[in-house]
Amino acid sequence: MLVENLEDIAAYIVDDGKGILAADESNPTCSKRFESIGVVSTEEKRRDYREMLFRSDGVPDNIGGVILFDETIRQRAADGTLLREVIAEQGALFGIKVDQGVRPIDGCPGETVTVGLDGLDERLQEYASMGAKFTKWRAVIKIGSAIPSEKCIELNMKALASYAALAQANGMVPIVEPEVLMEGEHTIDSCHEVTERALNALFQCLEQDGVNLKGSLLKPNMITAGAGCSVQASVDDVAERTLICLKAIVPSAVPGICFLSGGQSDLQATAHLDAMNKIGGFPWKISFSYGRALQSSALSAWGGSPDRVRSAQDAFTHRASMNRLAALGKWNKELEAG
C-alpha cells in the first residue's frame, strides 16, 4: 500500500465510507474497559484483545485507519508478526496517539490542558520510521459552571495546532481532536456554543501555525445535550445542530470529519452519523473515529476468553459495517438485526 503524501493519506482513511478504529486507549483506560468485563489488564491481554480486533473481517472493507497507543505500535501478535503489520495486511493505515494526557491548568479549577509537546519531534520521527501515516492529539474541554474558560480553550487549541504542524513536518497527517465532553447536565445549546468557541479558536490557531488543512482530519464531538441533562435531543436534532455548527466554521479544505463517540450508545453513534450523511450538503467526508461505539459489543463478547474470539470479531465486524453504511447515509435500524 503506497500512500505517501498528506492529502492522499487523509483521503485514503475516509474513502468510500471507511472510518477510523480508535484503539489508542492508554493503559489506565484499557484497565477500566477490561474491569467492566472482569478481565485483568496485562500486556498480553491487551495484545490478545487488540489482535482480535485487528484481524477481524470487519477491517478491510470498513476501516481506513487504526489509531494505536505507544505500547501497541511496538507489540507483536501471538505468531510474532508486528501488530502494525497485521493492520497493514488488512489494508488499513496505522496511526499513533502522540499526546501524553492532561494536566490541571493553574488558576482554572476543574480544567485541563493536554500535554506532550516536549520531545514530540523526536517521537514523531521514530513513529514515522515505523511506518505510521497519521497521528492523533486529543484536547478535553469540560462544560460546567463558568467553564470552559477562555484560557482553557486558548491553551488547548494552541497545543493542538503546534502538534499538527509538527506532525505534518514529519510527513504524517494530524488528527485534531477538540473534544467537548458529554459528561454534565448541560443543554444542547450549551454544547453548541462551547463547541463553536473551541472550533473557531482551533481553526484560527491552525491557520496561524500554517497547518495544511487538506492534509489533516478533524475529530470533533457531535452537538448533543450533556449525558445528565433531562432534555435529550432527537437523532434528527443532533444531526442538524451538528451540521449547522460545522458548516459555520470548518473550512471546505478539510477532507474529512471523523467523529468521536464520546459515551453515546453504539446505536446512537451510528444513527447520528447516518442522519448527517442523509442530510448531506457539506464539502467534507463525514465519518467515524469511534473507540467505545466500535468496540463495546466486541469487548463484551470477547470477555477475555480465546474461545470467544470469533464471536467478538463478528460483533466488531457488525458495528464497523453499520458505521460504514452510516458514513454513506445508507444505514437503517432494520439492518441491525442482521
What is the SS3 string spanning the chain?
CCCCCHHHHHHHHCHHHCEEEEECCCHHHHHHHHHCCCCCCCHHHHHHHHHHHHCCCHHHHHEEEEEECHHHHCCECCCCCEHHHHHHHCCCEEEEECCCCEEEECCEEEEEEECCCCCHHHHHHHHHHHCCCEEEEEEEECCECCECCHHHHHHHHHHHHHHHHHHHHCCCEEEEEEEECCCCCCCHHHHHHHHHHHHHHHHHHHHHCCCCHHHCEECCCCCCCCCCCCCCCCHHHHHHHHHHHHHHHCCCCCCEEEECCCCCCHHHHHHHHHHHHHHCCCCCEEEEEECHHHHHHHHHHHCCCHHHHHHHHHHHHHHHHHHHHHHCCCCCCHHHHC
Q: Is 133 an active-site residue? A: no
Applying the rule CB under 6 A, the residues between 115 and 154 that interact with ligand 5MM are: 138
The residue type found at 30 is: C
CB of residue 97 to ligand 5MM, shortest distance in Å: 6
Residue 70: CB minimum distance to ligand 5MM, A: 11
What would the grid cell of residue 36 be?
Answer: 467492566
Cα 316 from Cα 321, distance rounded (Å): 9
Q: Which one of the spans 17-25, 163-171, 209-217, 313-321 is the region binding ligand 5MM (CB under 6 A)?
A: 17-25
Options 3, 7, 8, 26; binder of ligand 5MM; rule CB under 6 A: 26
Please choose, out of 22-30, 74-82, 116-124, 274-282, the segment that lies near ligand 5MM by the rule CB under 6 A.
22-30
Nearest residue (CB) to ligand 5MM, 29 versus 149: 29
Instruction: Answer yes or no: 158 catalytic.
Output: no
Residue with Cβ nearer ligand 5MM (153 or 258): 258
Phi, psi of 135 (to 5 degrees): -140, 165
The one segment of 144-152, 195-203, 225-233, 290-298 that binds ligand 5MM by CB under 6 A: 290-298
Site for ligand 5MM in 149-208 (CB under 6 A): 179
284 contributes a contact to ligand 5MM by CB under 6 A: no
Among 13, 120, 161, 260, binds ligand 5MM (CB under 6 A): 260
Cis omega (within 30 of 0) on the bond before 174?
no
Our CB check for ligand 5MM shows the closer of 220 and 255 to be 220
Q: If binding is defined by CB under 6 A, does position 100 make contact with ligand 5MM? A: no
Check binding of 290 to ligand 5MM (CB under 6 A).
yes
Q: Choose between 70 and 209: whose C-beta lies nearer to ligand 5MM.
A: 70
Q: How many residues in the chain?
A: 338
Stretch that binds ligand 5MM, among 70-78, 80-88, 105-113, 254-262 (CB under 6 A): 254-262
Among the listed ranges 105-113, 121-129, 255-263, 273-281, the one in contact with ligand 5MM (CB under 6 A) is 255-263
Determine contact, residues 189/145, Cβ cutoff 8 Å. Answer: no
291 counts as binding ligand 5MM under rule CB under 6 A: yes
- With respect to ligand 5MM, which residue has the nearer C-beta, 29 or 204? 29
Cβ proximity to ligand 5MM, 46 vs 292, nearer residue = 292
Q: Cβ of residue 50: shortest distance to ligand 5MM, in angstroms?
A: 11
Q: Which residue has the cell 448533543?
A: 224
Q: Does 29 bind ligand 5MM (CB under 6 A)?
A: yes
The residues binding ligand 5MM (CB under 6 A) are 22, 24-26, 29, 138, 179, 260-262, 290-293
Which residues form the catalytic set?
177, 219
